[in-house]
Amino acid sequence: MSEHFIDGGAQAEYTPATDTPAGSICPVVAGKIYGINHLPIKAGETGVVDLVGRFELLKAQVALSRGDAAYVGSDGTVTTSTDGTYKIGVASDDAASAGTTARIYFHGIVG
């Protein structure tokens, strides 16, 4: 069997059903693969999302400490709840519950 390099695996194509603002957590394959888009993506158009990296993301009203597991909820925000969510990485910095964002070491492959 021969092997052929396709790409580095750090990005994927994503076609949303609705307009998606930049910086969204995008369900490339819901429950399995998530990515972050740098640019807005219009409904029905294909854009590129990053599958790995460190990002500042919108979060629920929860506190995170550096190293805490980070999950994405159905509303597309970062949370610490494991109920009906998917693990997407770990907090790279502390984030107060009153804040609206958290810095996350993001890995978009759920597993």
Contact yes or no for 59/77 (Cβ under 8 A)? yes
pLDDT of residue 74: 87
The reported pTM is 0.87
Query: For residue 6, is pLDDT > 90?
Result: no
Q: What is the pLDDT of residues 52-102, one digit of tens each?
A: 999 999 999 999 999 999 999 889 999 999 998 999 999 999 999 999 999
Give percent of the chain with pLDDT exceeding 70: 98
Q: Residue 3: its pLDDT value, please?
A: 85
